[in-house]
């Protein structure tokens, strides 16, 4: 029961929901999320830590950069919630804006320091 509560509590924040919706697109660097969400590294990293601790995302280090993606294994509840959430989040205006901003950012990423 504690694991379920921990999993659900991590969703109690708009920024974390936005991050999860962006990670549906695939693995992203912290700098990618910073650019799209227009938030400082410390804020993005704090939210990613909550999501990681709850089991929503996994990370890997490549050089100086941390990359995050949705956890592809986990409790059946996690898998079901991911699918359900992403279906419903896709319709929200802010998620559509974030995804559009991500698309534009990725086209221009070669100019960024972490590219």
Along the chain (115 residues), what's the average pLDDT of each consecutive run of 10 residues? Answer: 83 94 93 96 96 94 92 77 83 93 87 55
pLDDT attached to residue 25: 86
pLDDT attached to residue 111: 64
Q: Which helix or strand (DSSP H or E) is residue 85 part of?
A: helix 76-89
pLDDT attached to residue 27: 95
In a domain? residue 110: no
Which residues span the domain enclosing 49? Answer: 2-103
Q: Which residue has the tokens 């993005």?
A: 44
CATH code, 69: 1.10.10.10
pLDDT attached to residue 5: 85
In a domain? residue 25: yes
Q: What letter does residue 1 receive in the DSSP assignment?
A: -
Domain total in the chain: 1
Q: Which residues have a Cβ under 8 Å from the Cβ of 58 and sit 6 or more positions away?
A: 52, 68, 69, 70, 71, 72
Q: How many CB atoms lie within 10 A of CB 83?
A: 9
The β-bridge relationship of strands 57-62 and 28-29 is unpaired
CA dihedral 99, 26, 23, 72 (to 10 degrees): 150
In a domain? residue 114: no
- pTM for this entry: 0.88
pLDDT attached to residue 112: 54
């Amino acid at each position: 029961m504690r694991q379920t509560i921990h999993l659900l509590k991590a969703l109690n924040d708009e920024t974390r929901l936005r991050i999860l919706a962006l990670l549906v697109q695939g693995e992203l660097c912290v700098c990618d999320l910073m650019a799209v969400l227009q938030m400082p590294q410390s804020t993005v990293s704090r939210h990613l830590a909550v999501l990681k601790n709850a089991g929503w995302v996994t990370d890997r280090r490549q050089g100086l950069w941390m990359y995050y993606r949705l956890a592809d294994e986990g409790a059946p509840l996690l898998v079901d919630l991911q699918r359900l959430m992403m279906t419903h989040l896709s319709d929200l205006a802010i998620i559509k804006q974030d995804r559009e901003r991500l698309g534009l950012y990725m086209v221009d990423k070669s100019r960024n320091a972490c590219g």
